[in-house]
Structure 1
Amino acid sequence: MSAVVGSIHQDEILTGEAVALDVQPLGLMMRALGAVIDMLIGYAIIIGAFAALFASGVDASVFAIIQISVIVLAFVVVPTAVETITRGRSVGKLVVGGRIVRSDGGTTGFRHAFIRALIGVLEIYMTFGGLAFLVGAFTPRSQRLGDLVSGAYCERTRTPQVPEHVLVLPPALTGWAQLADAGRLPVRLSRRITQFLAQSANLMPGARARIAQELAAEAAQWVSPVPPVDAETFLRAVAVVRREREARALDIQSERVNTLLGSVR
């Protein structure tokens, strides 16, 4: 018995059911921007607390204790609480569109948030983000030291919307489509035509025309009659005809299955 081995990309997560999930980690620069925002919030908490303490005239011996408590609160307690409650989000991550998740793609908890916040005191606040940026630059998912220790990384939550690509039959070829024989087109050639039509708008004019001519020359051997139009219009018409006829064949097959099931019942 032969085993089928599939390659897993570094941006894919293999679940317990052996399903590869395509997840995109947040880039290093976006992570740095989010960290700067969170760092400024932490510093703002400390400055505001110290200003209130100075204004209240607290005794010097008590001020030292409160000072340490404020630093721990701003740098460890608040980030841990925020990430735990929001399940991996913070103000900076909301701005840049990121979320902290486990290495297997699951939701993080208190342990992950606490470890990240604790180590973040060193690599973010004490080094002004320099250590975190240096470590993130040499890890595949832009993970900082706290991420590596806690077993987490920052997942991208905002993905660009994929434009819907709908092929439409040119009106001048409506009559041709009713008589054309394009059902015997090889699967590989059909796939290449579909990929070309989906990406043709991004190609240079010269390459676009050349590839269209090559594909049209191959498709012309399997299509009869060949309409007197340019190569790309011909390919578009062939793709539409094949799509509609395959959809019609699936509908007919579904109707037959339903009829058989109805007769058995």
Structure 2
Amino acid sequence: MAEFTTGEAVALELPIARIPSRAGAFLLDLLMQLTLAFCLFYAGLLGLAFAGADSAWFAVLGVVTMVTVLVGYPVCSETLTRGRSLGKMAFGLRVVRADAGPTDFRHALTRGLTGAIVDFWMLGAFGSVAVVTALCSREGRRVGDVLAGTVVVHTRQTLPRPALAATPPWLAGWAAQVDPSGMSDELSGAARQYLTRLRTLTPAAQHQLGARLAEAMCAAVRCQVPAGYPPYHVIGAILARRQQLSLR
């Protein structure tokens, strides 16, 4: 398990996919790629032979088939399924961003190109680079994951629901007027960490840390700290407002 912090400062623990499951998914994807390569190349050969093309076209066919299979297959499959190739589907895996969000074409393209060039084929010594880098990474990330900012996780296990901040009813009206768009992810993460550790802090530490955080958060959202309320009420109200807007 590894902890991820989402853009709305929600902490999630997701089960990381390790080498055995990823290797199984890779081998199944490799089988699909070989099948695709055979079909494309055989169809191309028939077309070129029927057209009476010269030998240069056969070389072009080989390059096009290789690029389509090694890069096009993983990029298209992970883009269309939001991080799940056929092999990953079979083994219950998914590629997610480092903040546990869904991936897009940019992430799939980075992973696909790096996989073909560095991790597996051209410079990867048939996957040796991917295995070594995954073993050296706490999240099991290969070079493509590092460059794309992604992690491969299991999706078949039941994931815990994230604990969300709640707005105190007496601050609901005030919080509704707050615009948290100017607050950084680092400040939101610090606020969430403070709230989750609140019961372990002494009353003095609760007040001192909370007062500093409340002032920093109110400065970020351009409002005054409401008087007469404990700092953790103010922090929870702003954080809940940020989560509410980010989930729309």
In the superposition, the TM-score normalised over structure 1's length comes to 0.53
Distance 1:161 1:61, change over 3 A: closer
Q: Which residue of 2 aligns with 1:124?
A: 120
Partners of 1:135 and 1:52 in 2: CA distance: 37
Task: Indicate whether 1:19 and 2:15 are aligned.
Answer: no
Does 1:66 find its partner at 2:61? Answer: yes
* Paired amino acid for 1:23: L
Q: Secondary structure at the match of 1:34?
A: helix
SS of corresponding position for 1:119: helix
Q: Which residue, out of 58, 72, 81, partners 1:77? A: 72
Question: How far did 1:160 drift?
Answer: 6.4
Counterpart residue identity of residue 42, structure 2: A
2:139 — aligned with what?
141
Contact 1:32-1:133 within 8 A present in 2 as well: no
- Report the counterpart of residue 114 of structure 1 in structure 2: 109
User: What secondary structure does 1:106 align onto?
Assistant: coil
Cα distance in 2 between the residues matched to 1:17 and 1:109: 19
Code of the aligned partner of 1:129: G
Map Cα deviations across residues 139-196 of structure 1 (whole Å, 9 max, x no partner).
Answer: 111111101110001011011699xxxxxxxxxxxxxxxxxxxxxxxxxxxxxxxxxx
SS for the counterpart of 1:25 is: coil
Amino acid at match of 1:140: R
| Displacement of 1:61 | 1.1
Equivalenced residue count is 153
Give the aligned partner of residue 152 of structure 1. 150
What does the per-residue CA deviation read over 1:215-240, in whole Å, with 9 as the maximum and x for residues that have no partner?
xxxxxxxxxxxxxxxxxxxxxxxxxx
**Identity of aligned pairs, percent?**
35
Q: Determine which structure has more spread, i.e. the larger CA radius of gyration.
A: 1
1:46 corresponds to? 37
Q: SS state of the match for residue 133, structure 1? A: helix
Amino acid paired to 1:61: A
Q: What is the CA–CA distance in structure 2 between the aligned matches of 1:149 and 1:138, rounded to whole Å?
A: 15
Runs of 4+ in 1 over 4 A off after TM superposition: none
Match of 1:92 in 2: 87
CA distance in 1, matches of 2:55, 2:69: 21
Q: Give the CA RMSD over aligned residues.
A: 2.1
